[in-house]
Amino acid sequence: MKICLLVFGFCLPVAVQLYAQKTENNFAIIELFVSEGCGASPVAEKQMHALLDEYGKLNKPVTLLTFHVDYWNKYGWQDPFSSLAFTRRQNNYASALKQKEVFTPQVFINGQLAFAGSEIKKIKSETERMLKRTTKDTLLINADSTVRDTLWISCSASQAGPNLTLAVFLVLPEASSNVLKGDNEGKTLAHKNIVRKMDFFPVPEKKWTAGIPLRQFKNKKGMYLVAYLQQKQTKKILAVSKPVSDF
């Protein structure tokens, strides 16, 4: 297996795809951190695609989100999907879960478990375990209107309070890149479920509205929203809304 050493960790294999939830009382959210500059990320993405295809055929409520980090950019290739915000998110997860390092590809499941992206068997096993859990918490979001490049959503949750956050992600279903430099030089890389933007909102009450700025995305065709309710300190994901694409 190819391993790419980094200052803060290493690089291993993974990827993504989304399957709509049919129920709100059990779920698995897999957040994957990758980079086009990491030689092991493309292999890992292919492995995860196969795993998610399996879940899709079984109609299991598994959602996967791909975040492209920016700390590989200094090694020769600027990942066009990367963001410092995504790197910070990965570090926040690592801190909350007491992980000693961050690396690509790295996976977090339901905000509670951390794995190297190459640990497909462990990822599958823990995903199955999460799917067996049920929760009474619920979250529902609806796209109401778009005014001056701001998407307004109405939100309804089973609980509210200062220790909760509504996390909303704008996701691009698929894209590809021709990599000209770095570890993946000469390769055409295919990605799925790419997070292009994320926003976090307080949960002041069980029903409220929130505005999502979208001015930097003039062409939002095909994009969709994923939202979940998360505890601020522990990062545990409590409830997930069905994806929203009609905006």
The verdict on residue 2 lying in a domain is no
pLDDT for the residue 16:
35
pLDDT in tens, 8-63: 333 433 333 333 333 357 999 999 999 999 999 999 888 888 888 899 899 999 99
Mean pLDDT across 67-73: 98
Mean pLDDT across 128-157: 93
DSSP 172-187: EEEEEEE--SSTTTTP
pLDDT for the residue 247:
79
The verdict on residue 3 lying in a domain is no
Q: Which residues contact 222 (CB under 8 A, 6 or more apart)?
A: 172, 173
The verdict on residue 246 lying in a domain is no
* Domain enclosing residue 184, as ranges: 8-240
The verdict on residue 124 lying in a domain is yes
The verdict on residue 51 lying in a domain is yes
The verdict on residue 247 lying in a domain is no
Mean pLDDT across 158-175: 96
pLDDT in tens, 22-35: 335 799 999 999 99
Query: How many domains does the chain fold into?
Result: 1
The verdict on residue 1 lying in a domain is no
At residue 203, the 3 state secondary structure works out as strand
The verdict on residue 187 lying in a domain is yes
Give the span between the Cα atoms of 38 and 34, in whole angstroms: 7
